[in-house]
Amino acid sequence: MSVLREQRLLEAAVENNVFSQDELEGLRKQARKEHVDLMELLCFSLRLPMTLLYRNYAEINHYEFVGGEIKPDLSLLRKLGLERALQYHLIPLADETESLVILCANPEDRTVLQTVKRLVKQEFTLCIANPEHIIETLNRYAPVINPYADDDVLAPFFDPVKTLENILNQAYLNRASDIHFEPAEKGLNIRYRIDGQLQVENRLFSEANGAALISRVKVLAELDIAESRIPQDGAMAHSTPIDIHIDIRVATLPTQFGERATLRLLGGDKQLLNLEKIGMAEKHLQLFKKTIAQPHGLILITGPTGSGKSTTLYAALNELADSKTNILTAEDPVEMTMAGISQVQVNSKTSFAQALRSFLRHDPDVIMVGEIRDSETAEIAMKAALTGHLVFSTLHTNSALDSIPRLTDIGVESYLVASTLLCVIAQRLVRRLCQFCYSAVPLTVEQASILQCDQGQNIFAPKGCAHCQGVGYAGRLPLFETLWVDSQLSEAIASQQSQVKLKEKASSFISLAEDGRDKLLQGMTSLAELQRLGLWV
């Protein structure tokens, strides 16, 4: 990257409040002191993908940014030449109109402009893309552009080791939870799961390059690279350029077009939150704090996989952790290491039930069991809660009230549930509106009726800008459904009353829909996100 381009990217980012001048100067000093690359330090310290910086530069300087699929004009690309296109990061774009559009990474480079003018000899418009995106596109079209290209021309532009490192780094910068390597008829696609949504990375690797990437993953995960006919599971680790450690679970699967691999990223973006920052309404936050201060009982967090249950559990344990409290956890896997807490990874030889039974011989005050999956685990957890221990666990149910019949279905007596259960919190995650570009829209008559709000009230909708890379959302926030078990509700549970009756007896109950509506009206999320979860439809 030229000094000019780096400086201009940084100036544009400061101008558009991507980061402050003070933050930039602090990172400059750190880079000089540690003798590291400023751009790498900045991107990984602030979790900023290079694509965001290029998109922001384009917005500030009134260029169109191309972040999706690139479709080259092959005849002009042949005229330009593969080596020259790779050298200057140039791609002429196919356009249905007669105007010529040239994609480049540095529109301020005079050599680039002179090269294009000399070769095409007609008026053209420049637009911008991340240089890595340009190189990957040229690499993909290389056999079409020049079938006789020397391997020496292409070799420097595809290295499976460096390419995989880049994919993992981009996943970290974009806060992805999973990476999908998906073989297709024309090559290998890459998709990231970001904020719960799968997003195409617009990378299509050739069949040979895709196979090389899968092989590299299998080598790092210590899988059998010679075996591609059966599924395999493994694990690997990755460190970013500033030594942020990421544990990765790997699963491969044979498909009709070759092996696919799915990588689940653990750690890296995990931050231990205190309870005040998990997004619970103030009234219910105080009730939750009061509940977890109880000396014994059962506290359940429910929701589907990936709904933020672990974050809530860790925040609760963090609230309780001190030198006077003995806390033991059984997890699959241990997602975050916590000081002062003994954490056990369950495996094929140590089940949740076995770990829980062993915990009782270690004088615990607080126990956390990652999940109640069977009657044995449920029974031991209930007995632990009855005998003076505070027990946290999770269930896979659709609502807080569903957890009560779920426990009885797996064999727990109703009187045990009534005697031990303190509260149930069901949760989901929705995408958070980008605070730089969201727009207010008035409620329609129909929406106001559905939401039970005043018709003149505004809600907020996504728009898209450089800060959110055009998506309109940045990050996620939880919706909570809270059920507090008081004496009245406990009696109803013991007498096996219906869920309708239980809901009537529940005091201070707030549903997912109600919490979602509150956060919608506060401008935190959109109606589309609530409706995606089946709320207010």
CA distances from residue 76 to 206, 326, 502 in whole angstroms, order as listed: 22, 70, 71
- The answer on pLDDT for 154 being more than 70 is no
**pLDDT for res 109:** 86
Q: How many angstroms separate the CA atoms of 199 and 408, rounded?
A: 40
Q: What are the backbone dihedrals phi and psi of residue 411, each rounded to the nearest 5 degrees, phi first? A: 110, 10
Which strands sit side by side in the sheet containing 124-128, from one edge to the other?
64-65, 124-128, 100-104, 90-93
Choose the most confident range, by mean pLDDT, from 69-78, 79-88, 96-105, 428-437: 428-437
- The answer on pLDDT for 223 being more than 80 is yes
Q: What's the mean pLDDT in 312-319?
A: 95
Question: 260 forms bridges with which residues in the sheet?
Answer: 253
Residue type at 439?
Answer: S
Strand segments, DSSP code E, in 148-244 are: 176-184, 187-194, 197-205, 232-239
Range in 11-25, 198-212, 297-311, 363-377 with the lowest mean pLDDT: 198-212
Range in 185-189, 226-230, 253-257, 326-330 with the lowest mean pLDDT: 185-189
Q: What's the mean pLDDT in 46-60?
A: 91
Cis geometry, peptide bond prior to residue 147 (ω within 30 degrees of 0): no
447-466 pLDDT, tens per residue? 898 898 887 789 999 998 88
Q: What's the mean pLDDT in 223-238?
A: 94
**pLDDT for res 70:** 87
- The answer on pLDDT for 258 being more than 80 is yes
Confidence band of 147 (pLDDT split at 50, 70, 90): low
**pLDDT for res 284:** 86
- The answer on pLDDT for 444 being more than 70 is yes
Q: Which of 111, 109, 103 is nearest to 135 (CA)?
A: 103
**pLDDT for res 3:** 41
Q: Cite the DSSP H helix spans in 347-429.
A: 352-359, 375-386, 403-409, 414-420
The angle subtended at Cα 241 by Cα 167 and Cα 177, nearest 5°, is 40
**pLDDT for res 347:** 86
**pLDDT for res 2:** 42
Mean of per-residue pLDDT scores for the chain? 90
**pLDDT for res 333:** 83
Confidence band of 145 (pLDDT split at 50, 70, 90): confident
Q: What's the mean pLDDT in 493-522?
A: 89
- Domains along the chain with CATH numbers: 3-140 (3.30.300.160), 160-267 (3.30.450.90), 275-429+476-511 (3.40.50.300)
| Run of H or E including 327 | strand 327-331
Q: What's the mean pLDDT in 251-261?
A: 96
**pLDDT for res 379:** 92
For 180-199, what is the HEC assignment?
A: EEEEECCEEEEEEEECCEEE
- Of 242 and 147, the structure prediction assigns the larger pLDDT to 242
**pLDDT for res 148:** 58
What global pTM score does this model have? 0.83
Confidence band of 152 (pLDDT split at 50, 70, 90): low
- The answer on pLDDT for 69 being more than 50 is yes
Confidence band of 269 (pLDDT split at 50, 70, 90): low
